[in-house]
Chain A
Amino acid sequence: MPEIDLSIENEIKQLVYNFFAEECSVDPEQINDATNIITELEGDSLMLLSLLEIVRKKYGLSIELKTLGKHLMRKPAESIQQVVTLTLAIVKHGDNIINVEI
C-alpha cells in the first residue's frame, strides 16, 4: 500500500470527483464535497464498486468486499467528501479499515 502524502490525497480526491462526474454525466464544477451521491447524483452500489475497482487497480490494493461492506454499514459514505475519506482510508489501510476509526 502506498504512503499517503498530499499529492496522493489530491490525486484520490480528483479521481473521485472525475469518476462521479463521468458516471453521472455532470460537469465536475457542479460537484462539491457536500454533494450527496445518492440523492443528487443518483449513485448506487454498482458505482461504488466500479470506483473501488479503479482504485484497486491503480494502487494495487487487496481488500475484501465483506470488510468494506461492514465498514459502510457502520459508517455510510453518502457525500463526495465521505467517499473521498473512505477511498483514502482504503488506500491507506486496506482490509484493516474495519479496525480503524476514520
Chain B
Amino acid sequence: MTISSTWKFEAQEILVSCGIDSERISRFEFPRNQLQAPSPLIFSSAEIHYCASLPDPAKGLCAAFCCKEALFKALGTPYNLCDCEMEPCFAQEEQNVRITEIIRTENKIHSVTALLKEFVPDELTVVVYTWRLP
C-alpha cells in the first residue's frame, strides 16, 4: 500500500533582507529641564510622544533608533529616518514597525518586522526583517 500526499505551502510574505543594530540606552537620555530634546531628524513626533509616556523614555528612544539603523542596514540605502516608526513594547520580543509608502515603493518591500532584545544591561539589540509579497 502506498500512501502519498502533497503538501502545498503558499508563502504569505517572502523574506528580502535583514539588519541588526545595538546601542547603549544611556546615549538616549535627554535631560527634561534643558533645551536638548530628541532630534526630529531621527524620531517622529508620534515616537517622541509615545516614548515620553514610558517608564523609561531613553529605553524607548534607544529601541526606536536601533530599529531605524537596523532597517538602514537591511535596505542598504539611506532613507529619512522618520519614514520608519516603532513604538516599542518591552513585554514582548516581536515589535510592530510602521513604514511609509515611500520606503515600500523605493525598496520594493511590503512590510518590516523587528525583534527586540536586551542581552546585556543598558544595551538594546534590534533585528529587522524586510518582506515582500510573493
Contact = CB atoms under 8 A, between A and B. Distances in A.
Given A52-B41, A53-B39, A65-B41, A45 B78 contact: no
Interface in B77-96: 77-81
Contacts of A69: 72, 77-79
Interface in B29-74: 39, 41-42, 65, 69, 72
B23 interface: yes
B27 interface: yes
A49 B78 contact: no
Interface of B: 23, 27, 39, 41-42, 65, 69, 72, 77-81
A75 interface: no
Interface string A29-46: 000000000000000011
Contacts of B27: 46
Contact of A53 (B41, B65, B72): B41
A56 interface: yes
Interface of A: 45-46, 49-50, 52-53, 56, 64-66, 68-70, 72-73
11 contacts: A45-B69, A46-B23, A49-B41, A53-B39, A53-B41, A56-B41, A65-B78, A69-B72, A69-B78, A73-B77, A73-B78
